[in-house]
Amino acid sequence: MVVSFVLSAALALGQASVPAPATSFGVPGPSGPTTVTIEPAPPATTLSPSLQADLTANYTAQVAPVAADEPPPAKPVEAFLPMLPQAKPVEAAVAARAAVPDRWFLQKFLQGTGPGVALDTNRIAITGWTEMAYTASTNKVSNVPDTWNDRANRFLLQQHVIRLDRPIDTAAKEPTWGFHLDTLIGSDYRYTLPRGLFESQLLNTNGNQNLYGVDPIDFYVNAYYPGLFQGTEFAIGRFLTECSSESELTILTPLLTRSYSFQWGGPFTHTGVMVAPNLTKQWQARLYLVTGNEVFIDPSQELRFMGKLMWTSANKRDVLIYNTTLGRGKFNAGDPFAPATFATIQEPAGRNNINVFDFIWIHKFNDRFAYQAELLYGYQYGVPTTAAVGAIAGAIDNNDKLSGTADWAAFVQYYTYRWTEKFTTIARLELFDDFDGQRTGFKGLYAGATAAFQYQATKSVTVRPELRYYNNGYSRPYEGKHDIFDAAFDLIVRW
């Protein structure tokens, strides 16, 4: 793990110059592989409502393979370190550790040592994962407007994430507090980095984009009050978006590639405050006031609302989710992003102030087979011409002009079947209509199909190969072609 971290950090801090073009799925939880069912409340005392909602929204994880239960860890040796608050005797550490749903390599390595006891006593976990990927493509250089794995025929270290987490205790009778930090190192930082946070690392001294960088992608402090409604969480910090059934974090999304609905339909992160009440056993809400879409602290920030409302059926087989990010909805032409690199294509295209409405239906046929459908619509007004957007993105498709309001829509379906504890197949079908070409830089309807499987080689190692085909019959977005075909795979190592 240490070697992996050093190598990945070296890549992230290096100045890799490139031209500007471009769970395990079976373990989609904050603490390890978990068999996820559609529950309206957290399944374990160490899962906060916010993280549990993330698991539920990424429903394909509900049929993910789970490693066999391990024997309980040995009682640690007596040790006491006063470096952290609330340090207690070893017995308290053992009790705290009993609430941890799973333990990864680093925690096991530290178990029984002084630092391990201190972490357990204070309910703090240090975990992470590394994702390495390769995409063989019919394009030669860039898969754009495909993002994340945007480099054609090239290896990428997409995510090396270090997670520091103190989960709130939702089983406690008194209020509890916690914190959460995910630091992303890798090529994916180019798409998650917001305005006002480390954006100077995007370009090197030669004016080219740095392929690798660092983004503290989500961080917050939170508290849980069991007596308010049926339990309510409060938090302040930077959060992953609610407006998708997929995720920026690879362990919370079912495939290596993301849908166009996720890539272009909505935002990725928000900074602000959140309140998440469990209204009843079947209704949960998550309400945010944020500084914008993809904005940390910056002159471009605008107060806006983001929210989620989720209903779970009494038999736990159906879930309905409504997500939205809603604000002024006007293109922010007065505060352009500088430098306007491809890494921040969402800014020239006006992602900051887009309004998005996202509907998700999840149905669990049985313990093996699950279906998910997502319908998304977004719009923005006061947008520039298509040519202006295309000039920044390096992708001008035609002479159509865009003025006034631009809108887009998506329909995504997931079919997931778990054959064994280690083997799961996934199919994704999608339609994404960029009505005006304002999102991708190319006007028209994108139709795509993805077939994939996940193999849980060990508890900590997951392999995810896939085949994907996308077509736009109106424009030629793929290096002058109407379509693209690629074969990709990634390897995820949890530690």
The residues spanned by each domain of the chain are 2-494
Alpha-carbon span 235 to 53, nearest angstrom = 14
Average pLDDT over residues 352-378: 96
The runs of H, that is alpha helices, within 374-470 are: 386-393
pLDDT digits (tens, 9 = 90+) for 328-362: 998 876 555 444 433 344 445 556 789 999 999 99
Tokens 């890539």 belong to 263
The one-letter code for the residue type at 179 is F
Q: What pTM does this model have?
A: 0.77
- pLDDT at residue 455 greater than cutoff 50: yes
Alpha-carbon span 84 to 65, nearest angstrom = 36
Tokens 């879409």 belong to 293
Taking the alpha carbons of 257, 260, 264, 269 in that order, is the dihedral positive or negative? negative
Question: Residue 480: what pLDDT?
Answer: 96
Question: Residue 11: what pLDDT?
Answer: 40
Element (H, E) at 483: strand 483-494
The one-letter code for the residue type at 477 is P
**Which range is least confidently modeled, 195-199, 311-315, 365-369?**
195-199
Nearest partner of 55 among 26, 21, 79, judged by Cα: 26
Alpha-carbon span 393 to 376, nearest angstrom = 23
Question: Residue 209: what pLDDT?
Answer: 83
Confirm if 279 and 285 have CB atoms less than 8 A apart: yes
Average pLDDT over residues 390-399: 41
Contacts of 260 (CB under 8 A, 6+ apart): 145, 410, 430, 432, 440, 446, 448, 470
Task: Say whether the peptide bond before residue 145 is cis (omega within 30 degrees of 0).
Answer: yes
**Which range is least confidently modeled, 52-61, 201-210, 449-458?**
52-61
212 phi, psi to nearest 5 deg: -115, 145
- Provide the β-strand partners of residue 134: 155, 489
Question: Residue 100: what pLDDT?
Answer: 52
Contacts of 70 (CB under 8 A, 6+ apart): none
Q: To the nearest whole percent, how much of the chain has pLDDT over 90?
A: 56
Which residue did the predictor score with more confidence, 203 or 146? 146
Which superfamily does 2-494 belong to? Porin (2.40.160.10)
Alpha-carbon span 407 to 469, nearest angstrom = 24
Alpha-carbon span 260 to 411, nearest angstrom = 10
- pLDDT at residue 292 greater than cutoff 50: yes
- pLDDT at residue 165 greater than cutoff 50: yes
- pLDDT at residue 53 greater than cutoff 90: no
**Which range is least confidently modeled, 70-74, 211-215, 392-396, 456-460?**
392-396
Average pLDDT over residues 285-293: 96
**Which range is least confidently modeled, 96-110, 154-168, 366-380?**
96-110
Token code pair at residue 38: 């559609």
Question: Residue 334: what pLDDT?
Answer: 56
Average pLDDT, the chain: 79
What does each C-alpha distance from 233 to 3, 43, 75, 157 come to in angstroms?
Answer: 37, 15, 32, 34
Confirm if 179 and 84 have CB atoms less than 8 A apart: no
Alpha-carbon span 286 to 243, nearest angstrom = 12
Alpha-carbon torsion angle 111, 112, 118, 124, nearest 10:
20
Alpha-carbon span 392 to 440, nearest angstrom = 11
The DSSP letter of residue 61 is: G
